[in-house]
Structure 1
Amino acid sequence: MTDRPVRVGLQLQPEHLDYATIRRVAAGAEDLGVDLLFNADHFHPVTGPPDGPTFECWTMLAAWAESTSRVEIGALVSGNGYRNPDLLADMARTVDHISAGRLVLGIGSGWFERDYTGYGYEFGTAGSRLDDLARALPRIESRWAELDPPPTRRIPVLIGGGGEKKTLRLAAKHADIWHSYADAEALERKLRILGEHCAAAGRDPAGIEISVMGRTADRDRMYALGARLFTVHTGGPEPDLAGLREFLAWRDERNTTS
C-alpha cells in the first residue's frame, strides 16, 4: 500500500467558456487549495454543441503559469498525435520555467478524430497512435537532456489511458503518474497488469502515482486500491466548484486520519 498523501486536481475544460471565466475559476480553485489544475488538449469541444467556443491547451498553460502561484498545472492529457515530440518537450520545458517548476506533462495517444482531421493530422488507428506515443516518449526525454537551459526539475510525466497491452507497458516504463478513467472494479485489474509490466521493466510500481477521476461513489474503494490523485471535472457554460470543495474536504480528512 502506498503512503502517498491524497491529492485533488481540477480539470477545467477550456470549452463553452470565455477566457475571463476560465481565469476566474482557475484562480478560485487555487484559492480553495486544489493541488493540480488541468485543462484538456482538444481543438474542438468534446461535450455540448460541437461547434461552440474552445481554446488551445498549451497557450493556456503558459498563461496559467503566470496567473497561478502554487498549484501544479498540466493537460489531462496532451494529444501526442498532433504534437511533435521534440517541440512538445521544448514547450513543456518553457512552461516549466515560467511556472517555476510546477508543470506536469500529461500525455496520451489521442482519441478524438475531429482533432486530427479538422487540423490536417492523420488519425490512423488506436494501435498506430499508441505506437507513435511509444516512439515519442524517449524523444521527449532525450530532448529535455539537450535543452539549454534544462527544465528546472525532472518534469513529472502523466500518462493517461487504460490499454492493458500497450498503454500500461508505456506507463510502467515512463510514467511518474498513471491516470485511469476506469471504475474501481476495472482499476483493480488494471493495477495488477500495471504491476506485471513494472516487474518486466524492473521498476517498483510504488514509484507511480495512481490517478483517477473524482467519483464520489467509489472513491473509498479506489483509495484502498492505491489511488492517491483524484481529479474533479468542470466546464462550461456554467462551471461549478461544489464537487471540488467536497473532494478537498475528503482529502483533508483522509490525510489527517491516515
Structure 2
Amino acid sequence: MSGTHRVRIGVQLQPQHTDYPGLRRAAAAVEELGADVAFNWDHFYPLSGDPEGVNFECWTVLAAWAEATSRIEIGALVTCNSYRNPDLLADMARTVDHISAHDTGTGRLILGIGSGWFEKDYDAYGYEFGTAGGRLDRLAEALPRIEKRFAALNPTPTRHIPVLIGGGGEQKTLRMVARHADIWHGFGDAGTIAHKHSVLDQRCAEIGRDPGEIERSAGVSLTDDPAVVGEALHEVGTRLVTVSVSGPDYDLSPLRAWLDWRDEKNA
C-alpha cells in the first residue's frame, strides 16, 4: 500500500447552479488558498438541486482553468469514457496539458477517467447506456488507446499526464487501476477504503507492479473534521483527499482546516 506520497488536498468545484464568472472565481480562490488540485466533473446536468438547473461542460471549463490558474493541478473527477472517442480524448488532454504549462513549461492536467454511470446524460445526449459491465469493458479498451495516442501526438504532452481512475469494482476497475493508473480515487469510510487498498495491492502483485507507485485518493465532505476523517483515511494510506463544493456560492471557508491538517502531516 502507498505510504510515501505527500498529503495533498483537492477541491471538486461542481460546475452546477452558477455562472461561469462564479466558477472561475472559485477556481482562483482554491489556488490562492493553497490547495493542490482543482477538479470539476463530467456531467451534462446537475446531480443535486434542480435537475434541469445550470451546468457547464467539463473539458471546455478545464481549458479555461488552464489559462486562469498558474500553479494548481486541474482535472475532471472524473471524465466519462463513453462521451468521447478515446483518441480524441487523449488529444484534448494533451492540448489542455500544454495550455496549463504557460508559466513553467510543465503541464498541470490530471486525466481523471471512469466508465460512466449517470443515465440521464446518456439518454439526453444520444449515447448508448448499455450495462455497467459493458461500460467497464469499453474503458478497458480505451485506456491503451489513450496511452498509444499520447505517444503519437505531435507535440507529445509536456509530461507524463497522471491518470486517475475512479471506482471500486474489484474484478474489473481495480485491475485497470493496477495496469494503467497513477492515482486511484474511491469513496467510503476508512474501513472500506482500506479493503479496496488491499485488493488494489493484490492486483498490482498479479502483474508485478509496485503498489506504492499509485497515489491513493478519497472524497470527503468539506465540513468533515480532518482530525477525525482525515486521520482515519491517512492511517489506511490515503494521500490525496478531495472535498466537493457546489455553486452558486462555493463556500470555501472550511477548506482552511483541511489545508492546515495537510501541512501538519507533511511537516
Could you say whether these structures have the same fold, taking a TM-score greater than 0.5 normalized by the shorter chain as the test? yes
Q: What is residue 18 of structure 2 aligned with on the other side?
A: 17
How far apart, CA to CA, are the structure 1 residues paired with 2:78 and 2:111?
A: 8
CA contact (8 A) 1:162 1:182 kept: no
For residues 44-91 of structure 1, give each alpha carbon's deviation from its aligned partner in whole angstroms, at most 9, with x where no partner exists: 111111000000000000000000000000000000011210000000
How far apart, CA to CA, are the structure 2 residues paired with 1:95 and 1:81?
A: 20
How far apart, CA to CA, are the structure 1 residues paired with 2:87 and 2:255?
A: 35
SS state of the match for residue 196, structure 2? helix
Matches within 5 A, 1:236-255: 236-255=247-266
CA contact (8 A) 2:45 2:121 kept: yes
CA contact (8 A) 2:3 2:237 kept: yes
How far apart, CA to CA, are the structure 2 residues paired with 1:183 and 1:124?
A: 30
Residues 1:229 and 2:240 aligned together? yes
1:236 positional shift: 1.5
SS state of the match for residue 148, structure 1? coil
CA contact (8 A) 2:37 2:73 kept: yes
CA contact (8 A) 2:33 2:256 kept: yes
Percent identity at matched positions? 62
How far apart, CA to CA, are the structure 1 residues paired with 2:48 and 2:207?
A: 37
Q: What is residue 122 of structure 2 aligned with on the other side?
A: 116
Q: What is residue 185 of structure 2 aligned with on the other side?
A: 179
TM-score normalized with structure 1 length? 0.97
Structure 2: gaps of 5 or more residues: 102-106
How far apart, CA to CA, are the structure 1 residues paired with 2:95 and 2:216?
A: 26
CA contact (8 A) 1:232 1:243 kept: no
SS state of the match for residue 242, structure 1? coil
Counterpart amino acid of 2:118? Answer: F
Pairing partner for 2:111 from 105, 109, 112: 105
Counterpart amino acid of 2:34? Answer: G
1:115 positional shift: 1.0
Q: What is residue 82 of structure 1 aligned with on the other side?
A: 83
SS state of the match for residue 213, structure 1? strand
For residues 158-196 of structure 1, give each alpha carbon's deviation from its aligned partner in whole angstroms, at most 9, with x where no partner exists: 000111111111000000000011221111111111011
How far apart, CA to CA, are the structure 1 residues paired with 2:182 and 2:135?
A: 21
How far apart, CA to CA, are the structure 2 residues paired with 1:74 and 1:237?
A: 20
How far apart, CA to CA, are the structure 1 residues paired with 2:201 and 2:88?
A: 31
CA contact (8 A) 1:44 1:54 kept: yes
SS state of the match for residue 74, structure 2? strand
Matches within 5 A, 1:121-132: 121-132=127-138
Structure 1: gaps of 5 or more residues: none
Range 181-190 or range 32-41, more displaced: 181-190
1:155 positional shift: 0.4
Residues 1:193 and 2:204 aligned together? no
Range 186-195 or range 87-96, more displaced: 186-195
Q: What is residue 64 of structure 1 aligned with on the other side?
A: 65
1:202 positional shift: 0.9
For residues 201-237 of structure 1, give each alpha carbon's deviation from its aligned partner in whole angstroms, at most 9, with x where no partner exists: 1101000000001343422111011100000110123
How far apart, CA to CA, are the structure 1 residues paired with 2:196 and 2:47?
A: 26
1:239 positional shift: 1.2
Q: What is residue 163 of structure 1 aligned with on the other side?
A: 169
How far apart, CA to CA, are the structure 2 residues paired with 1:182 and 1:110?
A: 19
Counterpart amino acid of 1:7? Answer: R
TM-score normalized with structure 2 length? 0.94
